[in-house]
Amino acid sequence: MKRITIDPVTRLEGHGKIEIFLDEEGEVANAFMQIPEFRGFEKFCEERPAEELPRITPRICGVCPPAHHLASTKACDDLWKVDPPSPAKKLRELFYSAYYFSDHLLAFYYLQGPDFIVGPTAPAAKRNILGVIEKVGLDVGKEVIKHRAYGQKILEMLGGKPIHPTWGIPGGVTKGFTEEERAEVEEMAKSAVEFGKFTLKAIDDIVLKNKEYVDLILSDPYTISSYYMGLVDEHNKVNFYDGDIRVVDPEGKEFAKFKPHEYLNYIEEHVEPWSYLKFPYLKGVGWKGFVGGKDSGVYRVAPLARLNAADGMATPVAQEEYEKFYQTLGGKPVPHTLATNWARVIEMMYAAEHLLELIQDEEITSDNIRIVPTETPTEGVGVVEACRGTLYHHYQTDPDGIITKVNLIVATVNNSAAICMSIKKAAQGVIKKGKVDDGILNMVEMAFRAYDPCFACGTHTLPGQMPLEVNIYNHHQELIQTFKR
């Protein structure tokens, strides 16, 4: 065996790529994003019993397993045409609120936080969670860790291993809460609500009171016009677990509202020769290329889009912040990509409040948590809002429930056209006369990072996840600069 020193950042293969093309003047002419291709998922699923998919599909992603688990479980409900009893639905929603709280917290403090708390052009070595803690203090760091652990703990109490839940089954769930567990979760939920309020105040103090940051959020390089998609409840409030899919146009008017099983009537996928990634768009508007506006079918999903696609939040503190969000950022809808980070924290607040509501619900310790399916399965669609956007699972089976066809639209893929557009716009705004350095590049990546994209996140090969490479080309399309991240 060789004891070697490797430098995986420069030597590993299989990157995500951002490619930036300059014109003769050194201004940005075009920018694209590319990712490695994954093969054979459909074939992998075929000939398996459908009820295995809620355990298999969470493996697609190392970060959003609970989202795949529930989308898949709901697709199975629909496949066997079984409506779970009310306590089972509430437990699933509670489970999902815990996941949202914990995932949004992680994304805010660990991922987007460094850009705003440490500063967008701070040295790369400082722009991480360690830099954040230096700025906000160790005590806050401890609160971050504690509350993230609460979210994980709740997922584990219900679903077993948090990353590979084996809990949702057609018609319900396998386990509920004892009174003792309920009381424990209630304490965690109360604490989560307080921590949510603390985080909103931190945004107010660090970001909103800093004119430079607000101007950055509102600035043109981080603004694109698009449609917005998200799940809403019967009052058009944001819902993560269930409801209708609502789409609003770039002016905020309702364009469509549809049921999960109707999704193919509304969404089509565009294919580009240079990318394995598909580009979904609204069928009723059509694909007009990577352009914004009302005539282009490009839509967005994830926190900012969910807020834009809804009429409000279903809990009081989140609703108050929702109103402040639109007052501060110039009315609805907000087209500013970097506002996603604030939208995420508003959703984190809602997740905490909803968690507390659900754990105090008298049905939550009921043992009526499953209805055994009796119908013959044929076809089922399950939709949830993953943290990173609307997630579609669509299965067809033979009469024995053996999978014959699987179609998934994973959360980030909905955003793929918008991400390319956002990268191009940001690059055009900050790259001038061919000058690119680390700080400038980070300003481009901020547009990318706001979406918290999770392409190819199912692989685990070292250094842990897919590295990103940024290539800059001159007007002869010759590679002139490469940044490895």
Partner 1 sequence: MKILVLGLGNPILTDDGVGIYIARELQKRSLPKEVVVEESSLSGFYLMDLLLGYDKAIIIDSVKTKGGKVGEIYSFKPEVFDRSVHLTSVHQTNLPTAMKFGKQMGLKVPKEIIIFAVEIADNQTFSEECTPLVQKAIPRAVRLVEEELLSMARG
Residues that bind partner 1 (CB under 8 A): 1-9, 11-14, 16, 36-41, 43-44, 56, 59, 62-63, 103, 106-107, 110-111, 114, 124-125, 127-130, 133, 138, 141-142, 145, 148-149, 152, 163-164, 445, 448-449, 452-454, 456-468, 485
CB of 212 vs partner 1, minimal distance in Å: 22
Q: Which is nearer to partner 1, 292 or 389 (CB)?
A: 389
Beta bridge partners of 229: 247
Q: Which is nearer to partner 1, 13 or 180 (CB)?
A: 13
CA distance 364 to 383: 23
CB of 195 vs partner 1, minimal distance in Å: 16
Q: Which is nearer to partner 1, 26 or 160 (CB)?
A: 160
389 DSSP assignment? E
Main-chain dihedrals φ then ψ at residue 199, nearest 5 degrees:
-70, -40
Q: Which is nearer to partner 1, 82 or 472 (CB)?
A: 472
Q: Which is nearer to partner 1, 380 or 453 (CB)?
A: 453
E strands along 99-223, which residues? 168-169, 172-173
Q: Which is nearer to partner 1, 38 or 198 (CB)?
A: 38
CB of 182 vs partner 1, minimal distance in Å: 24
User: Angle at Cα 281 formed by Cα 280 and Cα 282, nearest 5°?
Assistant: 140
CB of 458 vs partner 1, minimal distance in Å: 5
Edge-to-edge strand order for the sheet containing 389-397?
379-386, 389-397, 403-409
CA distance 92 to 86: 10
CB of 143 vs partner 1, minimal distance in Å: 11
Q: Spell out a b/e string for 87-99, using b for 16 or more CB atoms within 10 Å of the CB, else e.
A: bbbbbbbbbbbbb
CB of 87 vs partner 1, minimal distance in Å: 30
Q: Which is nearer to partner 1, 17 or 294 (CB)?
A: 17
CB of 385 vs partner 1, minimal distance in Å: 17
Under 8 Å between Cβ of 67 and 367? no
Put residue 276 in one of left, alpha, beta given phi > 0 → left and psi -120 to 50 → alpha: alpha
Count of all residues that appear for the chain in the document: 485
CB of 266 vs partner 1, minimal distance in Å: 28
Q: How many CA atoms lie within 13 A of 124 on its CB side?
A: 11
CB of 81 vs partner 1, minimal distance in Å: 29
Main-chain dihedrals φ then ψ at residue 170, nearest 5 degrees:
-55, 125
Q: Which is nearer to partner 1, 16 or 260 (CB)?
A: 16
Under 8 Å between Cβ of 18 and 453? no
Q: Which is nearer to partner 1, 34 or 315 (CB)?
A: 34
Q: Which is nearer to partner 1, 37 or 179 (CB)?
A: 37
Under 8 Å between Cβ of 79 and 401? yes
CA distance 18 to 25: 20
CB of 388 vs partner 1, minimal distance in Å: 10
- Provide the 3-class DSSP secondary structure of residue 16: strand
Residue 196's Cβ-count burial label (10 Å; 0-12, 13-18, 19+) is: buried
